[in-house]
Amino acid sequence: MQKRLYALGRLKTGQMNKSETAYAAHLELQKRAGLILWYRFEGIKLRLADSCFIIVDFAVMYASGQLEMHDVKGSKRIFSDDARVKMKVAADSYPFAFKAVYPKPKAAGWDVEEF
């Protein structure tokens, strides 16, 4: 029987976990290189239905002006079904690209899943 992995839970609003902190550093490097113009942690709250919202970890604006929503997960295995459904509904409802990003195991960089 395979043991299920669970996220440790949410920290206080505006406080990043280790994966989110590492991704913020990655975004800052991209900003300094001129690839992105702006990013904000937990900066946008989107309504999906009555009393149902999603706050994606990072809103990212590229130099082209394209705005994307990036949700950082410590591992693909802990991306719960309900969170995945919310991302799919958001991607169908809003004119932004929605992406889940995961640190590459035992390597530098990030794996990206688009919705």
Pair type for strands 58-62 and 45-49: unpaired
Q: Tell me the domain boundaries of the chain.
A: 36-114
Question: How much is the pTM?
Answer: 0.86
Tens digit of each residue's pLDDT (9 = 90 or more) over 42-64:
999 999 999 999 999 999 999 99
Beta bridge partners of 47: 53
Give per-residue pLDDT as tens, 12-21: 777 999 999 9
Residues of the chain with pLDDT under 70: 1-11
Burial of 7 (0-12, 13-18, 19+ CB in 10 A): middle
